[in-house]
Amino acid sequence: MEAFQEKIKRLVTQRKVRISEHGYDELAEDGLSVREVLAGVPAAILIEEYPDFAKGPCVLFLQQDSKSGPVHVVWGIPKSYDEPVVLVTAYRPDPGRWDRTYRMRLKS
């Protein structure tokens, strides 16, 4: 059975993607483009999974922007659907909230 994170990557490769309104807002706020976020998916690293999210299962990926900087992207698939994959949000992680690899949250 295909892992959820691999399904996300496959759907992006197949261009079966939607960007949420919130996702567009967050991309713009952090100066990220849709193109660079999509390009970073094949090498994305799974950070967290949210299988029981109310709107459908989601994952948090660590990706890189066009200058190899860290970007966190939440991708999901709407509940009761197989596609498309939705970019829920994307942001540059706060170094004060994450370890130096941006893979683990710091304890507060």
Give pLDDT tens digits for 59-104. Answer: 999 999 999 999 999 999 999 999 999 999 999 999 999 999 999 9
Q: How far apart are CA 73 and CA 23, in angstroms?
A: 9
Tell me, yes or no, whether 16 lies in a domain.
no
Residue 1: the pLDDT is 61
Considering the domain boundaries, does residue 73 fall inside one? yes
The answer to whether position 6 is within a domain reads: no
Domain assignment of residue 64, yes or no: yes
Angstrom distance (rounded) from CA 107 to CA 51 = 23
DSSP 50-105: ETT-TTS-EEEEEEE-TTS-EEEEEEE--TT----EEEEEEEPPPTTTB-TTSSSB
Which residue reads 């994305």 in tokens?
Answer: 44
In a domain, 12, yes or no: no
Domain that holds residue 58: 24-91
Q: Is 54 among the domain residues?
A: yes
**72 part of a folded domain:** yes
Q: How far apart are CA 91 and CA 75, in angstroms?
A: 12
Please report whether residue 61 resides in a domain: yes
How high is the mean pLDDT of the chain?
95
- The count of domains in the chain is 1
